């Protein structure tokens, strides 16, 4: 802070901090994140309000709607047009006419001057009521706009939404129209709910990790794929968030990268999605389906993030809690509408009674002799005195003035019987309204049931709920590269074509490599990857499979004792150094074998000529040794120095325990 002429001025950094907070708040509250009460972003709310203002039951040009919306939304026409098309494609609030694009193919809508729209019957019934709407001035002060619309339906969960603010994002999944209504009814009955998304693009989805739409949840969505004979696969829908174009591109890219091999991809999409994948002869269709899920956009993962504005602040909510709040809000709006209706009926009954008394008792004749306006008012008021006790409120001056405005023609044609019948109808409606107020929950349930009956047809669930197994990508990936190794220099990779060939593999595989000093590593395959010098064994590593058993004899660098161990490897981290020995410096592997199915062998152990053992050639059977974890030190093979260990033959059964005990103790007769 600096002071000049006794006036405090802020530093530039302080100003930027304030401005940034103001900007962040504006983007969060006024642009990107929907409000919990009506489920709408400001631009969507203003579009609907503008459409209601010009609604006459006929279609309006979208260009006209955009212009009307710009009276309330202080941004460009493009943002309004995009939001309008997005709402129109969801087929709930807006009836569309013309080319509005296709979310399956990603085709954009025609220009605003060519397409038309109007509010749907559902929107007119559920979204608007000026009597229960809280209003505010528009950005330029010339108009009034709703703070939130009185929506009596969980609109946000039905449509879904996505937005990116400053340091905040929201991604609410769309849910099924009918299921939301049924869940709202269940909430009103005091039952718990577990709603799951339903995507307009259909498909199959695994919601086992949905977590109520909270941060950290995940949805896996797959296309439906049909097998047509042995030569074709037909993709019948696209996962939510993708299009036929991006799906086909992902298939072609996977084919070019060697992940899959397909003959041709044909897009037959018209009204319904159909992408045909032609296969090469001899290709297994079921395996190809798994490969498409593993390497293409036939399966996508979606991370929901349900963030809404609650009491002018962003909050992260479970979708079931959000639905409960929306249902209680709808119930409160219904109560307000009933209270308004009750008041209107009471006023109708009151004025109808006043009119009946005024005409049938000829009070209007008594004012003929009045010379002043005040005398007229007093005369009518005096004539009504005997009847005032029957009214629910006091008779006001305005009520009396209204009686003076009745035309003579209406008085002369007044039909007392018709008036009584009309009053009976109002009275019956009043009793029904009061009954509904006393049984508000039941009234709300019936309201939702009516919505379901009127608008639920054709809105059945499109997305099939399933649980997926995780596809092992290494199992379905094609062997599109070859693994080579340079043992001495310690390199592996598919680019070392002049070095030792190991096996065919995929370019997404992991490789395990053991070195002579007892270390081992897991590396992602590449063109040329350094591991460590003096590699003694290298192979493709499948972390999902734990079938390979490793048989090892090593000399501990500290004690010089020869150890023997059998172990399997699981739970490893790529690029980390592991030790199969005790970890002592100068340890050395004397014998190593990798066995795919727990095979064992008998090895010949030759002791050093300098050892004091009488018998310098021994045999050891690995079948005598239990399989333990990779971190186990192993058992003592012998304390005598070893010259060499060599494979002799495959073992079928353990050796006699006495021989093993002598050998482990380092004794030899």
* 292 and 360 share one domain: no
Output the pLDDT for position 245.
93
Residue 339 lies in a domain: yes
**Gap between the Cα atoms of 103 and 115, Å rounded:** 17
The predicted structure's pLDDT at residue 544: 66
Tell me the C-alpha distance between 221 and 198, whole Å.
Answer: 11
The whole-number pLDDT of residue 358 equals 87
Last residue of a domain, one of 422, 455, 488: 455
SS (H, E, C) 180-220: HHHHHHHHHCCCCCCCCECCCCCCEEEEEECHHHCCCCEEE
Looking at the structure, tell me whether residues 356 and 479 fall in a common domain.
Answer: no
More confident residue, 133 or 653: 133
Q: How confident is the model at residue 6 (pLDDT cuts 50, 70, 90)?
A: very low
Is residue 65 in some structural domain?
Answer: yes
Same domain, 127 and 185: yes
Whichever domain contains 346, its CATH number is 1.10.268
**Residue 195 to residue 186: CA distance in whole angstroms:** 11
According to the 3-state scheme, what is the secondary structure of 290-353?
HHHHHHCCCEEEECCECEEEECCEEEECCHHHHHHHHHHHHHHHHHHHHHHHHHHHHHHHHHHH
Given a contact cutoff of 8 angstroms between Cβ atoms, the answer to whether 519 and 559 are in contact is no
Statement to judge: residues 506 and 394 lie in one domain: no
Rounded CA separation 168/304 (Å): 13
**Active site members:** 114
> Rounded to the nearest 5°, which phi and psi values hold at 198?
-140, 115
Q: Is it the case that residue 167 has pLDDT exceeding 80?
A: no
With cut-offs at 50, 70 and 90, classify the pLDDT of residue 589: very high
Cβ(440)–Cβ(331) below 8 Å: yes
pLDDT tens profile 459-512? 999 999 998 877 767 666 677 788 999 999 999 999 999 999 998 888 888 899
Residue 311 falls within a domain, yes or no?
A: no
- Among candidate residues 153, 173, 191, the one where a domain is terminated: 191
Return all residues near 303 (Cβ < 8 A) that are at least 6 apart. 171, 215, 217, 218, 219
- Is 541 in a helix, a strand, or coil? strand
Q: Give the whole-angstrom CA distance, residue 156 versus residue 311.
A: 16
Nearest to 469 by CA among 139, 179, 204, 155: 204
Are 293 and 413 contained in the same domain? no
Q: CA angle at residue 141 from 136 to 147, to 5 degrees?
A: 20
The residues, any chain, with a CB within 8 Å of residue 251's CB and separated by 6 or more, are: 260, 262, 265, 275, 277, 292, 296, 298
Q: What is the mean pLDDT of residues 123-149?
A: 93
Q: Per-residue pLDDT averaged across 318-340, rounded?
A: 95
Q: How many helices (H) and strands (E) does the chain have?
A: 18, 35
Q: Has residue 565 been placed in a domain?
A: yes
Please state, in angstroms and rounded to a whole number, the distance separating the CA atoms of residues 356 and 362.
10
**Would you say residue 26 has pLDDT above 70?**
no
**Domain final position from 280, 301, 322:** 301
User: What distance in Å separates the CA atoms of residue 328 and residue 310, rounded to the nearest whole number?
Assistant: 14
pTM (2 decimals)?
0.77
Residue 20 pLDDT:
64
Domain that holds residue 25: 12-191
Structure confidence at residue 17 (pLDDT): 65
Tell me the percentage of the chain whose pLDDT exceeds 90: 59
Co-location of 393 and 480 in the same domain: no
Output the pLDDT for position 362. Answer: 87
Q: Which residue has the tokens 């305005």?
A: 398
Q: Can you give the pLDDT at residue 154?
A: 95
Instruction: Report H helices in 77-219.
Output: 77-89, 121-126, 155-159, 177-188
Task: Average the pLDDT over 649-654 and give the result.
Answer: 80
When the pLDDT of each residue in the chain is averaged and rounded to a whole number, the result is 88
Residue 276: which CATH number?
3.30.1360.40
Report if residue 93 sits inside a domain.
yes
User: Averaged over 315-335, what is the pLDDT?
Assistant: 94
- Tokens read off for 26: 């504006």
**Given a cut of 80, is residue 35 above it in pLDDT?**
yes
Q: Does residue 236 lie within any of the structural domains?
A: yes
Q: Are residues 633 and 574 in the same domain?
A: yes
Contact 89, 67 (CB under 8 A): no
pLDDT digits (tens, 9 = 90+) for 281-299: 888 898 899 999 989 999 9
Whole-angstrom Cα distance, residue 598 to residue 547?
7
| Range 170-181 average pLDDT | 95
pLDDT value for 323: 95
Q: Per mean pLDDT, which range of 184-198, 337-351, 398-412, 418-432 is the poorest?
A: 398-412
Decide which of 27 and 457 is more confident: 457
Half-sphere exposure of 222 (CA within 13 A, CB side): 22
Q: Specify whether 26 is located in the same domain as 161.
A: yes
Contact (Cβ atoms closer than 8 angstroms) between residue 1 and residue 15? no
The answer to whether residue 96 sits within a structural domain is yes
Q: Coil, strand, or helix at residue 102?
A: strand
Report pLDDT for 361.
85
- Rg, Å, the chain Cα set: 40
The two structure tokens encoding residue 289 = 């389906």
> Which CATH number characterizes residue 568's domain?
2.120.10.90
Return the closest-CA partner of residue 128 out of 58, 34, 38.
38
Q: Parallel, antiparallel, or unpaired: how do β-strands 60-61 and 94-97 relate?
A: unpaired
| Residues 592 and 622 both lie in one domain | yes
At 666 the pLDDT is: 45
Integer Cα distance of 517 and 502 in angstroms: 21
Q: Are residues 550 and 485 in the same domain?
A: yes
- Per DSSP bridges, beta strands 627-628 and 562-567 are parallel
Structure tokens at 19: 């401005």
For residue range 406-447, list pLDDT tens digits in order: 888 888 888 888 888 999 999 999 999 999 999 999 999 999
Length of the chain: 669
- Distance, CA of 602 to CA of 194 (rounded, Å): 60
For β-strands 204-209 and 464-465, DSSP reports them as parallel
**Span 256-282, average pLDDT:** 90
Tell me the per-residue pLDDT of 519-567, one tens digit each, with 9 for 90 and over.
999 999 999 999 999 999 999 887 766 778 999 999 999 999 999 999 9
Do residues 578 and 505 share a domain? yes
Pair 212, 267: CB distance under 8 Å: no
Instruction: Say if 196 falls within a structural domain.
Output: no
Output the six-digit token pair for 498: 């002049």
Residue 668: the pLDDT is: 41
Q: Which two tokens stand for residue 90?
A: 């969801």
pLDDT band of 93, cuts 50, 70, 90: very high
| Tally of domains in the chain | 4
**Quick one: what percent of the chain has pLDDT higher than 70?**
91
Question: CA 272 to CA 27: how far, in whole Å?
Answer: 38
Residues 253 and 348 in one domain: no
pLDDT number for residue 3? 42
Alpha carbon distances (Å) from 560 to 506, 587, 639:
41, 8, 7
Round to whole Å and give the CA distance between 318 and 559.
60
In this prediction, residue 615 carries a pLDDT of 87
* Burial grade of 409 (CB within 10 A; 0-12, 13-18, 19 or more): exposed
């Amino acid at each position: 802070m600096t002071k000049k002429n006794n006036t405090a001025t802020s530093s530039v950094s302080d100003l930027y901090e304030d401005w940034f907070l103001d900007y962040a708040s504006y983007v969060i509250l006024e642009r990107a994140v929907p409000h919990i009460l009506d489920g709408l972003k400001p631009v969507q709310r203003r579009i609907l309000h503008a459409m209601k203002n010009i609604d006459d039951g006929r279609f309006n040009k979208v260009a006209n709607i955009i212009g009307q919306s710009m009276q309330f939304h202080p941004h460009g026409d493009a943002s309004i047009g995009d939001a309008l098309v997005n709402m129109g494609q969801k087929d709930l609030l807006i009836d569309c006419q013309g080319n509005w694009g296709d979310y399956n193919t990603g085709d954009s809508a025609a220009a605003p001057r060519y397409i038309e729209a109007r509010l749907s019957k559902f929107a007119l019934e559920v979204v608007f009521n000026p009597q229960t709407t809280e209003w505010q001035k528009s950005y330029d002060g010339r108009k009034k706009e709703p703070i939130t619309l009185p929506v009596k339906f969980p609109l946000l969960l039905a449509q879904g939404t996505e937005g990116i603010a400053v340091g905040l994002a929201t991604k609410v999944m769309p849910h099924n129209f009918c299921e939301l209504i049924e869940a709202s009814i269940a909430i009103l009955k005091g039952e718990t709910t577990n709603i799951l998304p339903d995507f307009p693009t259909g498909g199959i989805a695994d919601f086992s990790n949905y977590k109520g739409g909270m941060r950290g949840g995940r949805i896996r969505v797959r296309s439906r794929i049909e097998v047509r004979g042995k030569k074709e696969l037909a993709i019948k829908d696209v996962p939510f968030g993708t299009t036929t174009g991006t799906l086909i591109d992902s298939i072609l890219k996977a084919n070019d990268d060697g992940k899959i091999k397909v003959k041709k991809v044909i897009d037959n999409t018209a009204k319904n999605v159909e992408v045909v994948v032609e296969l090469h002869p001899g290709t297994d269709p079921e395996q190809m389906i798994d490969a498409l899920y593993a390497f293409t956009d036939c399966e996508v993962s979606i991370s929901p993030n349900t963030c809404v504005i609650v009491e002018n602040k962003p909050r992260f909510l479970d979708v079931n809690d959000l639905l409960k709040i929306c249902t209680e809000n709808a119930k409160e709006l219904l109560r307000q509408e009933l209270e308004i209706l009750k008041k209107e009926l009471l006023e109708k009954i009151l004025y109808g009674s006043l009119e009946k008394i005024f005409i049938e008792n000829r009070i209007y004749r008594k004012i003929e002799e009045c010379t002043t306006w005040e005398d007229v008012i007093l005369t009518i008021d005096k004539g009504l005195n005997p009847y005032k006790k029957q009214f629910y409120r006091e008779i006001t001056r305005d009520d009396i003035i209204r009686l003076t405005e009745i035309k003579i023609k209406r008085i002369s044609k007044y039909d007392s019987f018709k008036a009584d019948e009309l009053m009976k109808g109002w009275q019956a409606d009043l009793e029904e309204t009061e009954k509904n107020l006393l049984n508000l929950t039941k009234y709300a349930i019936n309201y939702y049931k009516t919505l379901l009956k009127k608008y639920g047809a054709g809105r059945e669930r499109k997305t099939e709920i399933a649980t997926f197994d995780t596809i092992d990508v290494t199992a379905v990936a094609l062997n599109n590269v070859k693994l080579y190794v340079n043992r001495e220099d310690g390199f592996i990779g598919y680019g070392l074509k002049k070095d030792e060939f190991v096996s065919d593999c995929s370019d997404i595989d992991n490789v395990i490599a053991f070195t002579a000093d007892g270390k081992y590593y897991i590396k992602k395959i590449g063109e040329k990857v350094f591991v460590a010098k003096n590699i003694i064994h290298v192979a493709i590593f499948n972390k999902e499979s734990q079938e390979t058993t490793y048989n090892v004899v090593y000399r501990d660098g500290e004690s010089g004792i020869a150890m023997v161990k059998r172990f399997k490897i699981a739970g490893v981290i790529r690029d980390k150094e592991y030790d199969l020995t005790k970890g002592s410096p100068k340890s050395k592997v004397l014998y190593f074998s990798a066995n795919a199915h727990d095979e064992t062998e008998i090895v010949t152990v030759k002791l050093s000529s300098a050892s004091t053992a009488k018998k310098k050639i021994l045999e050891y059977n690995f079948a005598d040794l239990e399989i333990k974890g990779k971190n186990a030190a192993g058992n003592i093979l012998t304390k005598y120095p070893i010259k060499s260990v060599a494979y002799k033959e495959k073992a079928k059964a353990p050796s006699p325990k006495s021989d093993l005990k002598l050998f482990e103790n380092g004794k030899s007769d």
